[in-house]
């Protein structure tokens, strides 16, 4: 029983921070738009899982996991000599998780954690440009410490990113992005209101995009996450992320001024939590 309880607790910690698929960048996110461009976007992401891993070992091969995330966002691109981006997003969703092995049957729905982004493009050249961004995530999402899954994390967090975008040919684009995310302590974690501390989470991603036809793009994407190890009331959990994912993305320009993005993602290596797949769609309206 003690082993089962420890596994369930690891599951609890892992599920609090699931689906990075909803937090990573899509291809061409650091593209250069004309100053004054505004974009309203609607996004939907459906994720589902099977095998559940703890510390790199499968403990449940029949884990039932479903996560649906919607998001409304608004972006504004400005500046002349120094291009900048102002971005705000409101996510919302529903998550369900059940496991006979872990004796887990949980669900949650509601608003997620709102976030804002300030992006800068300090270097813009004909064949490459460099981007920087700072993210601030607010603890506005649905959270109940008695639940194993929540839409919000009940903490403030901040993230910084650096991006290098290279165009070796007019129809090819290579992007490399890396960043870190920091978390405030959660002093209301679990049914006993324990203190959850989390180390910074690292991210690395790359996108290779081909313009197959005017206004049509196809991209192969790779994501890696590490860090984010937690302690609960000072006890280390040995639950650091060491996760890998691949993705295929298609983007189409529709009748002006709209664009559509579709993608499929497979998080095939997950050290703690469910291995899962995702499909997503995004519709953008330009102003």
d(CA 25, CA 283): 15
Contact criterion met (CB below 8 Å) for 284 and 258: yes
Residue 91 CA neighbour count, 13 Å, CB half: 28
Task: Give this prediction's pTM.
Answer: 0.93
Contact criterion met (CB below 8 Å) for 214 and 220: no
d(CA 38, CA 86): 10
Give me the mean pLDDT over the 52-62 stretch: 88
d(CA 259, CA 218): 14
Query: pLDDT band at residue 3, thresholds of 50, 70 and 90?
Result: very low
Total structural domains in the chain?
Answer: 1
CB contact set of 1 (below 8 Å; sequence gap of 6+): none
Residue 171 CA neighbour count, 13 Å, CB half: 9
Task: For residue 46, give its domain range.
Answer: 2-286
pLDDT at 100: 87
Residue 126, domain CATH: 2.40.128.130
Give me the mean pLDDT over the 218-225 stretch: 98
Give me the chain's average pLDDT, please: 91
Contact criterion met (CB below 8 Å) for 40 and 287: yes
């Amino acid at each position: 029983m003690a082993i089962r309880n420890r596994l369930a607790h690891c599951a609890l910690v892992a599920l609090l921070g699931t689906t990075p698929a909803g937090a990573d960048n899509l291809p061409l996110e650091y593209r250069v738009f004309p100053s004054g461009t505004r974009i309203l976007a609607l996004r939907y992401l459906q994720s589902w899982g099977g095998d559940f891993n703890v510390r790199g070992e499968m403990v449940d091969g029949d884990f039932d996991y479903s996560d649906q995330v919607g998001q409304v966002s608004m972006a504004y691109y400005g500046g002349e000599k120094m291009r900048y981006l102002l971005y705000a997003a409101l996510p919302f969703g529903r998550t369900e998780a059940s496991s006979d092995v872990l004796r887990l049957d949980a669900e949650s729905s509601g608003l997620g954690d709102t976030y804002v982004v300030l992006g800068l493009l300090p270097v813009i050249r004909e064949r490459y440009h460099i981007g920087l961004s700072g993210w601030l995530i607010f603890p506005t999402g649905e959270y109940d410490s008695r639940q194993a899954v929540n839409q919000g994390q009940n903490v403030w967090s901040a993230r910084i990113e650096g991006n290098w975008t290279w165009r070796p040919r007019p129809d090819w684009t290579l992007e490399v992005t890396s960043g870190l995310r920091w978390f405030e302590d959660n002093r209301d974690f679990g049914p006993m209101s324990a203190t959850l501390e989390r180390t910074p989470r690292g991210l690395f991603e790359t996108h290779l995009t081909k313009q197959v036809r005017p206004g049509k793009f196809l991209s192969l994407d790779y994501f890696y996450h590490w860090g984010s190890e937690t302690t609960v009331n000072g006890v280390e959990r040995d639950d650091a992320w060491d996760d890998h994912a691949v993705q295929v993305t298609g983007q189409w320009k529709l009748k002006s001024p709209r664009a559509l993005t579709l993608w499929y993602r497979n998080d095939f290596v997950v050290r703690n939590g469910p291995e899962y797949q995702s499909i997503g769609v995004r519709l953008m309206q330009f102003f």
